[in-house]
């Protein structure tokens, strides 16, 4: 076994690897960028090395700096985590050349599976079923459009390099093919440096089911059963589970046999995942699944497999990379119970899952698992940390295990209701709604489920009177308490021998709320509210609500929803007229990738004006109303949150 390893990653996966390394007595070295100087993974490691500025191209993608850090600290091996350099065969070659061990597959295995088109040709030769489509080298638009017609619409355009939904477009009609291809190529080039694509048949009711495989350097390979990752938004996974609901013995055997066959075809060593697309339109059948791709690394969702097979996949990685055989043979690996993983992101589900940034002023996870269940919180952040625009906005992975699927799903819902995040927009309410969705609850899930139910899943009911009253009560004690104080006790300071009151103001969305908080002689509180919620009496609040105060705000938690109210400074002279309706501002920091209109051009409501690239994804900025463009940002411009992207002529509504 190694004595010291370097982890070439950040966030929750770096922390995850460190926990297992510590258990095995292996010392760890962290690397960090400017933005991560005080990150949790840096604090957890035995040593840490600064490798550059915040952008990934100047830090976490600099293989030379990472290898130099490993050599300087005496690390014997490098664990890549996932993302960044984890599937870069050139980096693997450089690690080996430097005399270090790469904790993962060989460069040859990664190259064999790194490009989707080549991988699918290889799988066809190995006898693994492959989804119908065009996987050739030629990339002329006329040829690709012709192949799409041959395959039959709808088709799916996919980047041949990378994954995570980047560079992927569903095309319903031939007239839309050209624009979809351009968008997929741009996004693929930005994310992977390779704009080549493949075109495949779009399956009507697709299930995304993947098989965890593991190989060693002695020719052995096993599977650890399947995971279902069909719950996706924007082609990115949201809630994963193991085993797959509705799985039949026949399909499981066919799929796991194919996965092991795929791993052995490339002499695979280490943790890997074979991803399949399954046509669930007529139930799960052994002849209706096809190979999509192989991820030659540890997956984000690996904890659900660990939960149902009682394994530590990171421990297996370290043992196999250090020269040991697989810890268990196939007959020794069995399934037990059911597990879910929910990805908690800083994102606004009500705005198309737009990634968010912010400081996590309040962060609290459940203290204990629901009765009869076990729970893991995988995170790389703490309260007070900042969600940066430079990296993936994941806050945590909430993982639960129960005796069966209903028990595990109930535990997931309970844990989501107890999770509290304030300071950034988060998706906990959406996750809770998805876990309660009737189709999801009964296991009738496919990759289109979220899209079909998106409005219902992302709708958040307005705060009720009691919630607003609680926020007003907390805000009224702003001068007497710190964020951790109980507002009930702080307000008692201005109760005397007769009722007293204090007025406070809250902002919730477009609503401006005025509240009067009174303290009765018996110590109870009365909160009288103006619009939008009418009146409420806080004496009806029998217990202290779950809430968090943070600079200029109060967040009240109701189930999995966090209602955040701004608390204006009464001494501030806010110039509200500055929020002009004649301009569009950047919703987050990013790069203006493509400008579709010019100054002086008349536009209509909903017309795409430009494409903003942020968080490695493209976001279309559309016209909010008819008008004439007076100014528009330039292509290639790097903008910050709030930068004016488009300004309309003053007579826009004339």
Q: Which residue numbers are catalytic? A: 297
Does a cis peptide bond (omega within 30 degrees of 0) precede residue 243?
Answer: yes
Asked if residue 603 lies in contact with residue 623, where contact means CB atoms within 8 angstroms, the answer is yes
CA distance 241 to 411: 13
The answer to whether residues 129 and 289 touch, using CB atoms and an 8 Å cutoff, is: yes
Strands 77-79 and 4-7: parallel
CB 485 within 8 A of CB 491: no
Residue partners of 509: CB distance under 8 A and separation at least 6? none
Cα-trace Rg, the chain:
27
Alpha carbons 157 and 185: distance in angstroms, whole number: 9
**Partners of 344 in beta bridges:** 396
The answer to whether 507 touches 553, Cβ cutoff 8 Å, is no
Structural contact between residues 192 and 159, judged by C-beta atoms closer than 8 angstroms: yes
Query: How far apart, in Å, are the Cα atoms of 594 and each of 158, 182, 632, 648?
Result: 20, 11, 11, 18
**632 phi and psi angles, rounded to 5 deg:** -145, 145
Q: Convert 498-521 to b/e letters by CB count within 10 Å (16 or more is b).
A: eeeebebbbebeeeebebbbbbee
Cis, peptide link before residue 90, omega less than 30° from 0: no
Which residues have C-beta within 8 Å of that of residue 292, sequence separation ≥ 6?
A: 116, 131, 208, 275, 276, 277
Contact between residue 263 and residue 196 where contact means Cβ atoms under 8 Å apart? no
Enter the tokens of residue 26.
Answer: 């292996």
Helices (H) and strands (E) in the chain, counts: 18, 37
Contacts with 329 (C-beta within 8 Å, 6 or more apart), sequence order? 220, 222
Task: List the Cα angle 379/385/389 in 5-degree steps.
Answer: 90
What lies within 8 Å, CB to CB, of 94 at 6+ separation is: 63, 64, 67
| Among 271, 340, 343, CA closest to 307 | 340
Q: Measure Cα distances from 439 to 349, 353, 434, 453, 583 in Å.
A: 19, 21, 9, 10, 41
């Amino acid at each position: 076994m190694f004595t010291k390893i370097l982890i070439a990653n950040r966030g929750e996966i770096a922390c995850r690897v460190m926990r297992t390394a510590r258990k095995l007595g292996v010392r760890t070295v962290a690397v960090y960028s400017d933005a991560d100087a005080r990150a949790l993974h840096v604090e957890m490691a035995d040593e840490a090395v600064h490798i550059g500025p915040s952008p990934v191209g100047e830090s976490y993608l600099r293989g030379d700096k990472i290898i130099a850090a490993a050599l300087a600290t005496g690390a014997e091996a490098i664990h890549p985590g996932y993302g960044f350099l984890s599937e870069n065969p050139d980096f693997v070659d450089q690690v080996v050349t430097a005399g270090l061990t790469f904790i993962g597959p060989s460069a040859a295995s990664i190259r064999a599976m790194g490009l989707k088109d080549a991988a699918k040709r290889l799988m066809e030769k190995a006898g693994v079923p492959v989804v119908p489509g065009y996987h050739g080298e030629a990339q002329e638009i006329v040829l690709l459009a012709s192949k799409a017609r041959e395959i039959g619409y709808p088709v799916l355009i996919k980047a041949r390099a990378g994954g995570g939904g980047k560079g992927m477009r569903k095309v319903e009609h031939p007239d839309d093919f050209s624009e979809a291809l351009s968008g997929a190529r741009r996004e693929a080039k930005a994310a992977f440096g390779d704009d080549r694509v493949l075109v495949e048949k779009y399956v009507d009711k697709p299930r995304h089911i993947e098989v965890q495989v593991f190989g060693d350097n002695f020719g052995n390979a096993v599977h650890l059963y399947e995971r279902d990752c069909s719950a996706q938004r924007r082609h990115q996974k949201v809630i994963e589970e193991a085993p797959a609901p509705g799985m039949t013995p026949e399909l499981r055997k066919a799929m796991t046999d194919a996965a092991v066959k795929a791993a052995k075809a490339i002499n695979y060593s280490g943790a890997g995942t074979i991803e399949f697309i399954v046509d669930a339109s007529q139930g799960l059948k052994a002849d209706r699944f096809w190979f999509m791709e192989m991820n030659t690394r540890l997956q984000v969702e690996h904890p659900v497999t660990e939960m149902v097979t009682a394994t530590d996949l990171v421990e297996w990685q370290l043992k196999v990379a250090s020269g040991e055989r697989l810890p268990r043979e196939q007959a020794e690996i069995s399934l037990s119970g059911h597990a879910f993983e929910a990805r908690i992101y800083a994102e606004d589900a009500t705005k198309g899952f737009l990634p968010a940034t912010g400081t996590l002023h309040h962060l609290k996870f459940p203290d204990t698992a629901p009765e009869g269940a076990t729970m893991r919180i995988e995170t790389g952040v703490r309260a007070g940390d900042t969600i940066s625009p430079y990296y993936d906005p994941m806050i945590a992975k909430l993982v639960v295990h129960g005796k069966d699927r209903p028990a595990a799903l109930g535990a997931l819902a309970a844990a989501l209701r107890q999770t509290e995040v304030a300071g950034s927009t988060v998706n906990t309410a959406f996750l809770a709604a998805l876990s309660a969705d009737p189709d999801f609850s009964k296991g009738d899930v496919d990759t289109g489920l979220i899209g079909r139910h998106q409005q219902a899943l992302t709708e958040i009911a307005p705060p009720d009177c009691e919630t607003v009253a609680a926020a007003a009560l907390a805000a009224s004690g702003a001068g007497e308490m710190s964020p951790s104080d109980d507002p009930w006790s702080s307000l008692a300071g201005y109760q005397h021998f007769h009722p007293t009151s204090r007025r406070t103001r809250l902002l919730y969305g477009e609503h401006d709320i005025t509240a009067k908080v009174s303290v009765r002689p018996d110590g109870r509180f009365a909160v009288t509210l103006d619009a939008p919620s009418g009146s409420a009496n806080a004496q009806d609040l029998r217990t202290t609500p779950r809430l968090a105060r943070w600079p200029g705000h109060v967040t009240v938690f109701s189930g999995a929803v966090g209602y955040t109210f701004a608390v204006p400074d009464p001494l501030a002279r806010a110039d509200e007229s500055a929020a002009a309706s004649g301009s569009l501002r950047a919703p987050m920091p990013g790069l203006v990738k493509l400008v579709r209109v010019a100054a002086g051009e008349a536009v209509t409501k909903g017309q795409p004006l430009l494409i903003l690239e942020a968080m490695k994804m493209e976001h279309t900025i559309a016209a909010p109303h008819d008008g004439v463009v007076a100014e528009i940002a330039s292509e290639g411009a790097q903008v910050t949150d709030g930068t004016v992207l488009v300004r309309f002529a003053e007579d826009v509504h004339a």
